[in-house]
């Protein structure tokens, strides 16, 4: 366990869809600056956990607390303002806008006041816009998409659209970043590049919760790995232990993986 203070505390969380229990009695603490991965088979409840934490799904039971603040019942945009920003399992860039405009929208989300100033075309806006554009360029530089700034987002290859999504999330200045299968659909070179970016994101002090089926990535970047199966946590620990955990091997990793990595 890390000595850093607890950032996110999930206590006894249950999520239901009618009669179906997607998450049952999930308890999980994530410390400041930690990278924690959530793994498990399809339908285990990983995305549902993200949805509950970020306000897209109500908790049937339990409590979610971030930096001492209870999140239950708050709307997604309010939770984002508290610094919890997510990406989605399915790509969700604004395809009809340029790459740069996508980032600018991410930056605007940060400030309601700025949105009003833009709508009212206040004189400060032109000056602000230039500052925002250079900030947007810096973020694009960071993810390696600077050369694509003027292109339509929809024209980017899939892997680069996924990087753009992460850039949009970073523009909202997260203190806790939730990534739902960020490298699915990326080629090996893009995945390797993404792993380096994630190391840089961590170096910025951003806490990360990651859902990913790419085990090389999960085991390479995580401080801790939490395995869900049928809505319940079946293991929680450092990557080395998780790779050898018989319950995790049975429910998810498989014997072949265990033989190759044990
Ligand atoms: N909108 C929904 N309505 C009804 N059931 C849902 C809904 N979303 C998810 N479920 C169900 O909740 C359970 C958990 O799904 P969830 O999407 O959280 O799994 P997951 O771990 O993210 O899986 P995957 O690895 O395939 O993305 C599954 O049984 C799923 O069918
Ligand atoms: Mg999912």
Determine the pLDDT at residue 2: 53
Query: pLDDT over 70 for what percent of the chain?
Result: 92
CA distances from 29 to 2, 9, 247 (A): 11, 5, 21
pTM score, whole prediction: 0.91
Cβ distance 26 to 10 under 8 Å? yes
pLDDT of res. 110: 63
Give the ligand 1 atom nearest the CA of 23: 14
**Shortest-distance Cα residue to atom 9 of ligand 1:** 48
Can you tell me whether residue 87 is helix, strand or coil? coil
> How far is 67 from 103, CA to CA, in rounded Å?
27
Alpha-carbon gap, residue 70 to 82, rounded angstroms: 11
Domains 1-74+176-182+207-262 and 84-173 share a fold: yes
**Sheet-wide strand order for 232-237:** 84-86, 176-180, 207-211, 35-39, 224-229, 232-237
**For residue 138, what are its two tokens?**
């810096």
To which residue do tokens 């009669």 refer?
19
Which pLDDT score is estimated for 154? Answer: 95
What pLDDT, on a 0 to 100 scale, did the predictor assign at position 129? 77
- Beta-sheet pairing, 176-180 with 207-211: parallel
pLDDT along the chain (262 residues), means of 10: 86 97 98 98 98 97 98 94 91 89 81 56 68 91 94 93 92 94 89 91 96 94 97 98 97 93 78
Report the nearest-CA residue for atom 17 of ligand 1: 47
Tell whether ligand 1 has an atom less than 6 A from the beta carbon of residue 51: no
Residue 105: what pLDDT? 82
How far apart are alpha carbons 7 and 9 in whole angstroms? Answer: 7
In the CATH hierarchy, which top-level class contains the domain 84-173? Answer: alpha beta
Half-sphere exposure of 118 toward its Cβ, with a 13 Å CA cutoff? 14
42 lines ligand 1 (CB under 6 A): yes
Instruction: Give pLDDT tens digits for 7-25.
Output: 999 999 999 999 999 999 9
In short, whether 47's Cβ falls inside 6 Å of ligand 1 is yes
| C-alpha 113 – ligand 2 centre gap (Å) | 34
Mutate to test the pocket of ligand 1, among 43, 44, 232, 253 (most ligand atoms within 8 A of CB): 43
In degrees rounded to 5, what are phi and psi of residue 27? -125, 125
Residue 251 CA, chain-centre distance (Å), reads: 24
pLDDT at 117: 57
Residue 148 and residue 100 in contact, taking contact as beta carbons nearer than 8 Å: no
* Residue count of the chain: 262
43 Cβ closer than 6 Å to some ligand 1 atom = yes
Q: Is the CB of 20 under 6 A from ligand 1?
A: yes
Which of 40, 45, 181 has most ligand 1 atoms within 8 Å of CB, for mutation? Answer: 45
- Identify the pLDDT of residue 218: 96
Distance 59 CA to ligand 1 centre (A): 15
Domain covering 1-74+176-182+207-262: architecture: 3-Layer(aba) Sandwich (3.40)
Going from N- to C-terminal start, the domains of the chain cover: 1-74+176-182+207-262, 84-173
What pLDDT digit, counting tens, does each position of 53-100 carry?
Answer: 999 999 999 999 999 999 999 999 899 999 999 998 887 888 999 999
């Amino acid at each position: 366990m890390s000595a850093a203070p607890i950032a996110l505390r999930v206590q006894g969380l249950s999520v239901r869809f009618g009669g179906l229990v997607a998450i049952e009695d999930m308890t999980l603490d994530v410390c400041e600056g930690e990278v924690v991965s959530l793994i498990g088979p399809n339908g285990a409840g990983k995305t549902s956990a993200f949805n509950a934490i970020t306000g897209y799904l109500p908790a049937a039971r339990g409590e979610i607390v971030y930096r001492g603040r209870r999140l239950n019942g708050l709307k997604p945009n309010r939770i984002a303002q508290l610094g919890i920003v997510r990406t989605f399992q399915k790509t969700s860039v604004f395809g009809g806008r340029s790459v740069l405009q996508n980032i600018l929208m991410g930056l605007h989300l940060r400030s309601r006041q700025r949105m009003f100033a833009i709508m009212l075309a206040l004189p400060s806006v032109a000056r602000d816009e230039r500052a925002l554009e250079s900030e947007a360029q810096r973020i694009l530089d960071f993810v390696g998409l600077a050369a694509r700034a003027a292109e339509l987002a929809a024209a980017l290859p899939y892997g680069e659209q996924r990087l753009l999504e992460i850039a949009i999330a970073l523009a909202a200045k997260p203190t806790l970043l939730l990534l739902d299968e960020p490298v699915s659909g990326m080629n090996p070179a893009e995945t390797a590049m993404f792993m380096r970016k994630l190391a840089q994101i961590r170096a910025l002090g951003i806490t990360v919760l990651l859902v990913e089926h790419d085990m090389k990535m999960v085991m390479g970047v995580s401080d801790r790995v939490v395995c869900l199966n049928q809505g319940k946590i079946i293991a929680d620990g450092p990557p080395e232990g998780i790779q050898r955990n018989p319950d995790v091997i049975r429910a998810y990793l498989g014997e072949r993986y265990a033989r190759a990595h044990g």
